[in-house]
Chain A
């Protein structure tokens, strides 16, 4: 059976679900819409009406969007085999890791368990991390000891040792993020050639984006040494490979790094003056690559993942627009926020204005 026939159901499912993605016109108009208009269009009324405060409304909207995204993820993984399912669930586990970071920060700053719990996402069983048990840990060390007894043993052990030496949440969270992306990169390599090219293009673009932004931040914002910067980066299987990152991390200035980037990244970020500008440009590039995979790839799992990544961006965009209205930010501020999430949407509206 050919790959196309084998993945016919999944591909059809992805195509059907892709109609939910926001069109350019909808995205470009989000920053100008009122809360009432957003609520009417996207059926947010019941969620907004139920909550008493602005914070609670914002939180409930965010939770409902994550719930929606993960529900779609669970629909998409149904026809998948174990490898494909593992990859897509692995991607979705970032929400479990967000909870883990919230727990670590909460315990580190000795916040009230109620406050920590209010900031945890409710997640399905195959993505969550026994949050209730972890929540009852009385301090960071106990939390990390508990994690050491589970599937996050390596992250937790390393994080505990780092924490015992440095008492630094940065190192803990960097280790968690690094393991997440390394895990995704490893999962891709288990796929056959039928899927590999598409997955490399999709996740390679994402890893390139993450590696470049981390490199610039760690090196020039946090002023880490080249060796420490390099240590925290996750090499991509596409443009920013291990050797390329070694070379880039050793450069001394922001401009030198941008000029030394491989093609086509050098052209994408050329003349950028700030990391925010780089973030916008490389974000647009990654989004284009993701849309290409969704539209053209023959691999069902790559298309499903591309759909989820775009859907996540759409929902983040909508959440930013709703939050901007809830907090009564000026339209320009909302536009800037939207532009950082999906660089092509507010940009066009801004240019038109």
Chain B
């Protein structure tokens, strides 16, 4: 990755932004330049107009959908004047369109009111009083029938009480409470108006025919709703007719905004002084020449591009280019859950993918169940998006190990094993798992050492956690243990190396501690003990790889034992349900265990994950 600094004319910024977006290789650097004179923000007004126009276009296209964008189309410069004119036009258009939107909202409100009326009338139908009396105020009584939001009810009840009115609740419907408020006609009436208004009271007019035929009333209300639906349809037609002459220009407006977007994306990193504009960013080393050529073509040479390597103190600012392989993409997603590789750090994705598949397959080796996983991933590839190859490869790995173990849907004697069934020699399986653990941890330590050397962090590469000295200790411990296992004693060389490496770690730790002597002794002792216990327990942790392969066979045996106790139908059903159980439960557990081994035993050793992804400016396919 290279750091580039572009100096060009302020007026040429829109042109430069298009060239940068076309190359898709420029990740902006938001740090202000060191020159104090370059303090103006030339893209600020542009961004403001863009944001306003974008928001207006979004609102309009929610009301008048336009065909989705298929590509960026012809590329041209969008100046601030054009953007301003577009924003103004969109503003005027939205002013007209919002009238339609408000009418649609009004129809929604009317429809809701009629529905509430229908509900209220159904409720009134059960009352044995002359409801015609509720229609209008009488000589002595003032009556309001309507609804209020439920949460305002209690406060309203007290308030109408103070005005000398009574409030009666006759129905609760969703968030609304239907009430009748009545009190003496007179001066208090005018005081009640503002209270009802404040409480969001909505009057429900009582129809003239209330005391006659309920069925006819319902028919009338149904007719009202139909009328509202027709009005809505008519309004939609008017809206469509109104929108028709504008559709092409709206599509063009979207295209203009897509072309303006790169400059908006650059705004935080743009600085200028008069006619001189400054822009900095990160570009992959292989793309620098292409970028220079594209800028040269676009700006006719009116620019200066300086290129340099990242400085050591900039390491955490340098973006990391993500993995582009389609097969590795789902694994990269899982790696990114932990963190993004920092610049200079080894990207663990390929190693993660390989070890993940090996461990998953060996712990869940079954031709039939693996085929189900792979088949399900293939079948659901539309829904799983970029993640589906992960399921497919996990399934294929399971199939591969299934052939080695000779296992298909838990049947251990149908398929001849290319190697052996795990349960036929559990001790061998456990030994292989231990060897695998040693290899895994050794590779993790080597990567940790490499990552530190890459950033010239020599002290940590040698004495840090999982550095050279740690690795010497670990390998000596393994060598000694192996000899001990063979009955040859621990051996002098491993013992000497262990003592020397632990002593070196203790001295290093002692020298870096700033504490009283007693505390230093305690800390160094505990750290040394932790190193020994940590490596032993981490290696033993890999026994789970063998344990789960044994567990898989054992679970299958349990299923078949149960199935053997049933009749033919019961047998088939138990085998099917047992396989589903094993697939879902054990498959899930194995997945979690493998992830745990990767994150805890692997990543925590060599992967800092404190980088950030390379996100170059580019044209979008469509506005969000």
CB-CB under 8 A from A141, the residues of chain B are 102
Within 8 A of A (CB), among B162-186: 162-163, 175
Per-residue CB contact flags for chain A residues 233-265 toward chain B (1 = under 8 Å, else 0) read 000000000100110011000000000000000
- Give CA–CA (A230, B102) in the complex, Å: 33
- Is B98 in contact with chain A by the CB < 8 A criterion? yes
- The reply to whether A232 and B198 contact each other, CB–CB distance below 8 Å, is yes
- The reply to whether A227 and B192 contact each other, CB–CB distance below 8 Å, is yes
Checking A145, A162, A175 against B105 with a beta-carbon cut-off of 8 angstroms, the contacting residue is A145
Q: Which of B91, B160, B194, B202 has the most CB of A within 10 A?
A: B194
Q: Which of B151, B162, B199 has the most CB of A within 10 A?
A: B162
- B contact face: mostly helix, strand, loop, or mixed: helix
- The reply to whether B198 and A171 contact each other, CB–CB distance below 8 Å, is yes
CB-CB under 8 A from A228, the residues of chain B are 159, 191, 194-195, 198
- The reply to whether A227 and B98 contact each other, CB–CB distance below 8 Å, is no
- Is A158 in contact with chain B by the CB < 8 A criterion? yes
- The reply to whether B198 and A225 contact each other, CB–CB distance below 8 Å, is no
- Give CA–CA (A133, B95) in the complex, Å: 17
Checking A139, A154, A157, A162 against B198 with a beta-carbon cut-off of 8 angstroms, the contacting residue is A162
- The reply to whether B202 and A161 contact each other, CB–CB distance below 8 Å, is yes
- Is A142 in contact with chain B by the CB < 8 A criterion? yes
- Is B149 in contact with chain A by the CB < 8 A criterion? yes
- The reply to whether A225 and B191 contact each other, CB–CB distance below 8 Å, is yes
CB-CB under 8 A from A154, the residues of chain B are 149, 151, 175
- Give CA–CA (A225, B161) in the complex, Å: 12
- Give CA–CA (A145, B105) in the complex, Å: 9
CB-CB under 8 A from B155, the residues of chain A are 230-231
Report the nearest A residue to B199, measured CB to CB.
Answer: A231
- The reply to whether A231 and B195 contact each other, CB–CB distance below 8 Å, is yes
Per-residue CB contact flags for chain A residues 208-244 toward chain B (1 = under 8 Å, else 0) read 0000000000000000111110111000000000100
- Is A174 in contact with chain B by the CB < 8 A criterion? yes
Per-residue CB contact flags for chain B residues 60-97 toward chain A (1 = under 8 Å, else 0) read 00000000000000000000000000000001001100
- Give CA–CA (A242, B198) in the complex, Å: 18
* Also in contact, A227 and B162, with CB within 8 A (given A136-B51, A154-B149): yes
- Is A266 in contact with chain B by the CB < 8 A criterion? no
* Also in contact, A246 and B162, with CB within 8 A (given A162-B200, A228-B194): yes
Report the nearest B residue to A170, measured CB to CB.
Answer: B198
- The reply to whether A227 and B200 contact each other, CB–CB distance below 8 Å, is no
- Is B52 in contact with chain A by the CB < 8 A criterion? yes
- Give CA–CA (A232, B152) in the complex, Å: 10
Checking B151, B194, B202 against A225 with a beta-carbon cut-off of 8 angstroms, the contacting residue is B194
Q: How far is the CB of A230 from chain B (nearest CB, A)?
A: 5
- The reply to whether A227 and B163 contact each other, CB–CB distance below 8 Å, is yes
- Give CA–CA (A154, B174) in the complex, Å: 13
CB-CB under 8 A from B51, the residues of chain A are 132, 136
- Is A138 in contact with chain B by the CB < 8 A criterion? yes
- Is B128 in contact with chain A by the CB < 8 A criterion? no
- The reply to whether A227 and B102 contact each other, CB–CB distance below 8 Å, is no
* Also in contact, A161 and B200, with CB within 8 A (given A228-B195, A231-B156): yes
CB-CB under 8 A from A171, the residues of chain B are 197-198
Q: How far is the CB of A167 from chain B (nearest CB, A)?
A: 12
- The reply to whether A174 and B198 contact each other, CB–CB distance below 8 Å, is yes
- The reply to whether B52 and A136 contact each other, CB–CB distance below 8 Å, is yes
- The reply to whether A166 and B197 contact each other, CB–CB distance below 8 Å, is yes
Within 8 A of B (CB), among A151-190: 154, 157-158, 161-162, 165-166, 171, 174-175, 182
CB-CB under 8 A from A165, the residues of chain B are 197
CB-CB under 8 A from B202, the residues of chain A are 161
CB-CB under 8 A from B191, the residues of chain A are 225, 227-228
CB-CB under 8 A from B622, the residues of chain A are none
- Give CA–CA (A171, B162) in the complex, Å: 20
Q: How far is the CB of B414 from chain A (nearest CB, A)?
A: 53
- Give CA–CA (A75, B56) in the complex, Å: 38
- Is B55 in contact with chain A by the CB < 8 A criterion? yes
- Give CA–CA (A119, B135) in the complex, Å: 49
- Is B158 in contact with chain A by the CB < 8 A criterion? yes
Checking A114, A175, A226 against B162 with a beta-carbon cut-off of 8 angstroms, the contacting residue is A226
Q: How far is the CB of A337 from chain B (nearest CB, A)?
A: 32
- The reply to whether A158 and B98 contact each other, CB–CB distance below 8 Å, is no
Checking A114, A162, A231 against B159 with a beta-carbon cut-off of 8 angstroms, the contacting residue is A231
CB-CB under 8 A from A232, the residues of chain B are 198
* Also in contact, A227 and B160, with CB within 8 A (given A138-B95, A141-B102): yes
CB-CB under 8 A from B160, the residues of chain A are 227
CB-CB under 8 A from B192, the residues of chain A are 227
Checking A113, A142, A162, A230 against B98 with a beta-carbon cut-off of 8 angstroms, the contacting residue is A142
- Give CA–CA (A167, B160) in the complex, Å: 23
- The reply to whether B158 and A242 contact each other, CB–CB distance below 8 Å, is yes
* Also in contact, A158 and B149, with CB within 8 A (given A138-B98, A227-B191, A242-B158): yes
Report the nearest A residue to B94, measured CB to CB.
Answer: A138
CB-CB under 8 A from A245, the residues of chain B are 158
* Also in contact, A250 and B149, with CB within 8 A (given A136-B52, A154-B175, A231-B155): no
Report the nearest B residue to A245, measured CB to CB.
Answer: B158
Q: How far is the CB of B205 from chain A (nearest CB, A)?
A: 16
CB-CB under 8 A from B200, the residues of chain A are 157-158, 161-162
- The reply to whether A136 and B105 contact each other, CB–CB distance below 8 Å, is no
- Give CA–CA (A161, B199) in the complex, Å: 10
- Give CA–CA (A231, B165) in the complex, Å: 14
CB-CB under 8 A from A132, the residues of chain B are 51
Q: Which of A132, A161, A174, A245 has the most CB of B within 10 A?
A: A161
Q: How far is the CB of A214 from chain B (nearest CB, A)?
A: 13
- The reply to whether A227 and B197 contact each other, CB–CB distance below 8 Å, is no
- The reply to whether A158 and B162 contact each other, CB–CB distance below 8 Å, is no
- Give CA–CA (A17, B160) in the complex, Å: 47
Within 8 A of B (CB), among A99-149: 113-114, 132-133, 136, 138-139, 141-142, 145
- Give CA–CA (A132, B154) in the complex, Å: 35
- Give CA–CA (A138, B55) in the complex, Å: 10
Report the nearest B residue to A145, measured CB to CB.
Answer: B105
Q: How far is the CB of A151 from chain B (nearest CB, A)?
A: 14
CB-CB under 8 A from B156, the residues of chain A are 231
Q: How far is the CB of B599 from chain A (nearest CB, A)?
A: 24
Report the nearest B residue to A146, measured CB to CB.
Answer: B59
Q: How far is the CB of B234 from chain A (nearest CB, A)?
A: 22
- The reply to whether B198 and A175 contact each other, CB–CB distance below 8 Å, is yes
Report the nearest A residue to B202, measured CB to CB.
Answer: A161
- Give CA–CA (A230, B165) in the complex, Å: 14
- The reply to whether B158 and A157 contact each other, CB–CB distance below 8 Å, is no
Q: How far is the CB of A138 from chain B (nearest CB, A)?
A: 7
* Also in contact, A136 and B55, with CB within 8 A (given A225-B163, A246-B162): yes
Per-residue CB contact flags for chain B residues 182-219 toward chain A (1 = under 8 Å, else 0) read 00000000011011011110100000000000000000
- The reply to whether A158 and B152 contact each other, CB–CB distance below 8 Å, is yes
Q: How far is the CB of B183 from chain A (nearest CB, A)?
A: 11
- Give CA–CA (A114, B52) in the complex, Å: 12
- The reply to whether A249 and B162 contact each other, CB–CB distance below 8 Å, is yes
- Give CA–CA (A154, B175) in the complex, Å: 9
Q: Which of A138, A227, A232, A249 has the most CB of B within 10 A?
A: A227
The 5 closest A-B pairs by CB, nearest first: A231-B159, A136-B55, A225-B191, A227-B163, A158-B200
17 A-B contacts (beta carbon < 8 Å):
A136-B51, A136-B55, A141-B102, A154-B151, A157-B149, A158-B199, A162-B198, A182-B151, A225-B195, A227-B195, A228-B159, A228-B195, A228-B198, A231-B158, A231-B195, A231-B198, A246-B158
A residues contacting B by CB (< 8 A) are: 113-114, 132-133, 136, 138-139, 141-142, 145, 154, 157-158, 161-162, 165-166, 171, 174-175, 182, 224-228, 230-232, 242, 245-246, 249-250
Given contacts A162-B198, A227-B161, A227-B191, 4 further A-B contacts (CB under 8 A): A157-B200, A162-B200, A232-B198, A246-B158
